[in-house]
Amino acid sequence: MTASPARLTVNAVPVDLTTVPVGERLLDTVRWRLGLKGTKEGCRTGDCGACTVLIDGRSVLSCLTLTHEFTGAAVTTVEGLEGDPTGARVRAAFEKEGALQCGYCTPGFVVALTSLLKERGAEASAEELAEDLGGNLCRCTGYAAIVRAVRRVHGEMP
Amino acid sequence: MPAFSFVQPSTTDEALAALRLGEPGETMIVAGGTDVLFGLEGRRIPLKRVVSLRHLPWKTLSWAGESLRVGSTLPLRTLESDPDLRRRIPGLWQAVRAVGSVALRHRATLGGNLGRSSPASDLIPILLALDSEVDIVGMEGERSLPVDQFVRASRTTALGPGELIRSVAIPEARPSAFLWQRVRPANDISQVGVAVAYSPSQKGWRIAVGGVVPRPVLLPQAERLLSGPFPGAAELRAAAQEASMRAPFATDRRATEEYRRQLVATLLQRAVRAVGAHPSSPGVP
């Protein structure tokens, strides 16, 4: 029905989908098939944001995504942000502000904030960015440091 | 792991043909997938096939004069980012922003929200208040239904088994507002949602509420108590009381019926005042 190739890329590495069952969630493909454990499984219902990855540069919840829906797309996980300038700035800001306690939610926050900065650039205020991170939960309730990290990265935007 | 076939039509004809495969209940239609793609294992009827609408050319948005048409599979985040939406139909912008999180709205769609028909939908009340029409395509042809006739009950719509929602038409950009109350402000389901819109052409208000059973409803009795674009305090209180008594609220795990009745009275007055104060309001220079 469609001519899209049965493959996608994860962090620029091609993944052949012919061996992936059609019911597999992108979260499972990333964590268990590819061994990229930075992406976390939290609520499994789209409420916590721990499983956030980028698809073609935009944040999505990998627990609510079937891998086969995105044939031909470019998936980026938190590991793939290493070489990304925006992603690197976000990671550095979280580090400098100590914006994590147990760290389980951190990859989701980093990926979600990177997506927001790529989407809106400097036009969004730090307050808007923080509000738009409302889909990411920190069960340690370490939000004050996370908001500081948001302010820091916003202030450092070129 | 559930085993099913995965169909990704790229044309309307292919999509409609895919709906005719197999028995009703065996096929799941997926737009953004954010409300249907969990709990695949626990289904009563085993899933035979998933039809993804992602590759259909329906991710459209077009203004024509005062009217707006939104393709059913346009991601909500794209809709909320439209440069004119916030200014021209503020209530729709607020309602879209109320749905889930940014990552969820990168995938969730207007068509999916209508098709799933949740009583707590944040989008259906504002679509009602804007007198929106659902554009439906099927093997027998095309038809259009007002949202009020399309939405029937929780998870129940007028959509036939061989039909799909193609777009939603909003006939008039109206000064409008959508306010909600929740346990948690971000990424939660509303206990009550109140949508209000003032129609310059009909010189009257539209008021709709969500968080009611069995589906979001318009409240024409309350609408009639508001005489003009800037109702006075007494009129507002009367409309709020009418809405509070009339709306079909019930008690569930999110809120009691009594709390919802109090909420709607407060939110309705705030929403109408917000419309009067907004730059798009008639009479505001």
Is the ipTM reported for this complex over the cut 0.90?
Answer: yes
- Whether A87 and A134 map to the same domain: the answer is yes
Is A96 a member of any domain?
Answer: yes
CA distance B120 to B125: 9
Is A58 in Cβ contact with B77 (below 8 Å)?
yes
Q: Where are the domains of chain B?
A: 5-52, 61-170, 176-277
- Whether A111 and A122 map to the same domain: the answer is yes
- Whether A60 and A76 map to the same domain: the answer is yes
- Whether A29 and A62 map to the same domain: the answer is yes
- Whether A73 and A109 map to the same domain: the answer is no
Mapped onto helix, strand or coil, the DSSP state of residue B163 is strand
Is A22 in Cβ contact with B33 (below 8 Å)?
no
What confidence score (pLDDT) does residue B46 get?
Answer: 78
Q: What is the pLDDT of residues A48-80, one digit of tens each?
A: 999 999 999 999 999 999 999 998 999 999 999
Say which CATH number the domain at A18 has: 3.10.20.30
Q: Return the CATH class of domain B176-277.
A: alpha beta
Q: What is the pLDDT of residues A34-46, one digit of tens each?
A: 999 999 999 999 9
Is B103 in Cβ contact with A69 (below 8 Å)?
no
Q: A134 in contact with B at a CB cutoff of 8 Å?
A: yes
Q: A72 in contact with B at a CB cutoff of 8 Å?
A: no
Comparing alpha-carbon positions, the chain B residue that sits nearest to A115 is B103
Is A140 a member of any domain?
Answer: yes
Number of Cβ within a 10 Å radius of residue B130: 27
Say which CATH number the domain at A149 has: 1.10.150.120
Total domains in chain A come to: 2
Instruction: Kindly state the tokens that stand for A103.
Output: 């760290």
Is A2 a member of any domain?
Answer: no
- Whether A41 and A60 map to the same domain: the answer is yes
- Whether A98 and A72 map to the same domain: the answer is no
The stretches in chain B having pLDDT less than 70 are 1-2, 39, 41-44, 278-285
| A69, A115, A143: best to mutate for the B interface, most B CBs within 10 A | A69
Is B4 in Cβ contact with A68 (below 8 Å)?
no
User: Are B174 and B199 a contacting pair, CB within 8 Å?
Assistant: yes
Closest to A72 (Cα-Cα) out of A148, A140, A9, A150: A9
Q: Which domain holds residue A126?
A: 83-155
**Domain boundary pick from A39, A63, A80:** A80
Q: Return the CATH class of domain B61-170.
A: alpha beta
Does A4 have pLDDT greater than 70? no
Chain B neighbors of A44, CB-CB under 8 A: 38
- Place A1 in a pLDDT band, splitting at 50, 70 and 90: very low
**Domain boundary pick from A80, A97, A123:** A80
Comparing alpha-carbon positions, the chain B residue that sits nearest to A58 is B106
Burial of residue B249 (number of CB atoms within 10 Å: 0-12, 13-18, 19+):
buried
What confidence score (pLDDT) does residue B43 get?
Answer: 67
Distances in whole angstroms, Cα of residue B49 to Cα of each of A1, A68, A132, B32, B166 = 14, 13, 35, 16, 21
